[in-house]
Amino acid sequence: MSGQPRICTSCGQRSTNSAADAVCTACGAPLRAMTRMEALFDRWFGPSAASVSECYHRHRQLTELLWSRDGRGQEYYNILRPGISYSKFLQRVTDIICQGVRDGWVELRIPPVPVPDDAAYGIEFKDPDRFAAELTAAFAAPDAQRGKRPRGG
């Protein structure tokens, strides 16, 4: 049967190569068809690309909501007038926020379990000037950027 997941007879690496003479890309040993049990096990406990990206997407959505809620997203958009669609703007600023979290100048407050109270969720700008500088650098018109002071690392 073609398209059936196969498994290396030696090291256990998974393969989707359905050619009869295909060998393991990791160790070169022959492949065999996976048993239904092995396939089921992989489905439940193996890494799933779909579920990883789903969590990533939801996490990003929550991050986006935290900085843009209460009309702030629209407010920044109106001030900066970035010349891109609002949804692109949301994505770009969310990227900046994520970088800020990595660098430590933004902190997201997310409770360990979901609670039905928006006040439990928050975002804190440890360095608001840095956020303003990042937004300006990302969206300001070339004219406005010319007079900008260089910022130190």
Q: How far is the CB of 1 from Zn ion (least distance, A)?
A: 21
Least separation in angstroms between CB 42 and Zn ion: 16
Would you say 129 and 148 are in contact if contact means Cβ atoms under 8 Å apart? Answer: no
Residues that bind Zn ion (CB under 5 A): 8, 10-11, 13, 24, 26-27, 29
Q: How far is the CB of 36 from Zn ion (least distance, A)?
A: 21
Report the C-alpha gap between 103 and 112 in whole angstroms: 22
If the CB atoms of residues 26 and 84 are measured against Zn ion, the closer one turns out to be: 26
From the CB of residue 77, how many other CB atoms can be counted at a distance below 10 Å?
18
Our CB check for Zn ion shows the closer of 24 and 106 to be 24
Write the DSSP string, 132-147.
Answer: HHHHHHHHS-HHHHHT
